[in-house]
Amino acid sequence: QKALKAVNGHKAKEELDTTGKLVVALPDGDVTLLPEDVEVTMAQTEGYNCQRYNGVTIALETTLSEELLEEGFVREIISKVQTMRKENGYEVTDHIAVGLKGNEKLENLVKKNESFLKDITLADKVTYGETSGHEKEWNINGETVTLSVD
């Protein structure tokens, strides 16, 4: 058991897969283990999600960077604006004005990504700190903001 703990798991799995056996060095001599002698399990590393299927292992990094978090907020705001467009009977080709108030953090994120929001929502204008037209308060990922479409 001590000898197996000292073995590099990736190399051991590779050896089992390619040769059909694993040779472990013990003080009294080498021991040969067959696949049915060992149980190989995949350990999850923090920040990654690993899955194995038909001999293929895929690892996805699940740590969210500041850029991904920012993009998530902006996309949620866009989603809320699109919902408001629909609720208020706007056609998909109608140009609108968007307003935001009540959350400086979200206002700053939209300012940084204003052209993206305008492109997606067909907004000709975005105002900050004030709203006009149809307005609604939203909770976006724990942040409260009032949005308007006009």
Q: In this predicted structure, what is the pLDDT of residue 130? A: 93
Cα distances (Å, whole numbers) of residue 106 to 44, 69, 139, 147: 34, 12, 11, 11
User: Is the predicted pLDDT of residue 8 greater than 70, yes or no?
Assistant: yes
pLDDT band of residue 109 (cuts 50, 70, 90) is: very high
Residues 6 or more apart in contact with residue 1 via CB below 8 angstroms? none
Q: Mean pLDDT, to the nearest integer, of 141-146?
A: 95
Q: For residues 100 and 50, which has the higher predicted lDDT (pLDDT)? A: 100
pLDDT band of residue 2 (cuts 50, 70, 90) is: confident
Strand ranges for 27-142 from DSSP E: 29-33, 48-53, 56-61, 96-101, 123-128, 134-140
Residue ranges of domains in the chain: 2-61, 66-149
Q: For residues 140 and 12, which has the higher predicted lDDT (pLDDT)? A: 140
User: Is the predicted pLDDT of residue 106 greater than 80, yes or no?
Assistant: yes
Cα–Cα distance, 83 to 81 (Å, whole number): 5
Strand ranges for the chain from DSSP E: 22-26, 29-33, 48-53, 56-61, 96-101, 123-128, 134-140, 143-149
Note the residue count of the chain: 150
| Mean pLDDT of all residues belonging to the chain | 90
**Does the global pTM surpass 0.75?**
no
Q: In this predicted structure, what is the pLDDT of residue 42? A: 66
Cα–Cα distance, 139 to 146 (Å, whole number): 9
Q: In this predicted structure, what is the pLDDT of residue 79? A: 97
